[in-house]
Amino acid sequence: MDKKWLIILAVLAVLYWFSKTPTYVDETTAVELKYHIVYPQGGSSGDDMPMIIALHGNGDTYDNFYNFTLKDLSKEARIVLVEAPNKYWPYAIQPLANYSAAIANLSANLTDKYSLSKKPILLGFSGGAVVAYFSALKHCANYSKIIPISGMLKSDMIPANISMDDNCHVMAFHGKKDTVLSFSSAKYAIDKLKNYSDNVEFIPYDGGHLGIARDFKPMILAKIEQNL
């Protein structure tokens, strides 16, 4: 086959792939979210099973995040892998607020679509955990539990009109030797959340930012499965 036609076919294949990626456009914020749904233990779109909204770290991809964290779940779950804009979640408060709101609305939309009997879990790593922490302060009512892993908040990232109470359940993990997002910035986030809910758990581990995927994944997966 002519090389030109091979290139054309390759381009068409890529376009077809992207056209199959589900996209959610939030009417309130105009944020567009691309997401992918996987079932690590099998299942189908018609099944009522626990759902996890998963946010990858900055600079990572949704599929790499899945393969190194959630692929080994031993319980049935519907995992919704949301793509960050250009691989990076924002840290500035206004875009952070917009993406947090859009993800909360996507969560509500999918909860209705699949007629779930339980609200989904929101799980984020690194930059995704920043969104998760922010979401705990603003949109906790959309989730059964929020699980930030190696995330943080700073004083200029705290939203006005916080909407959080004891119905908000948070379980956070952070490495004591994290040099990417400091342990103190995670502790700041946890202390802020504890001002509004008594159901905030902080689990430190003796490792760095990425060590969690290697040394502490079994423990974290077990904790996640307990909450499905």
pLDDT at 70 over 80: yes
Range picked from 7-16, 61-70, 131-140, 218-227 for highest mean pLDDT: 131-140
- What digits encode the pLDDT tens for the residues 16-60? 444 468 999 999 999 999 999 999 887 666 678 999 999 999 999
Single-letter residue type at 132 = A
Where do the domains of the chain lie, and which CATH numbers do they carry? Answer: 20-226 (3.40.50.1820)
Q: What is the dihedral of CA 190, 120, 44, 66, to 10 degrees?
A: -10
Q: In what order do the strands lie in the sheet with 51-55?
A: 23-25, 32-38, 78-82, 51-55, 121-125, 145-149, 170-175, 200-205
Joined together, the tokens standing for residue 118 give 């339980």
Average pLDDT over residues 149-159: 97
Residues sharing a CB contact under 8 Å with residue 64, sequence separation 6 or more, in sequence order: 56
Query: Cα(140)–Cα(146) distance, rounded to whole angstroms?
Result: 8
- What digits encode the pLDDT tens for the residues 174-203? 999 999 999 999 999 999 999 999 999 999
Percent of the chain with pLDDT over 70: 89
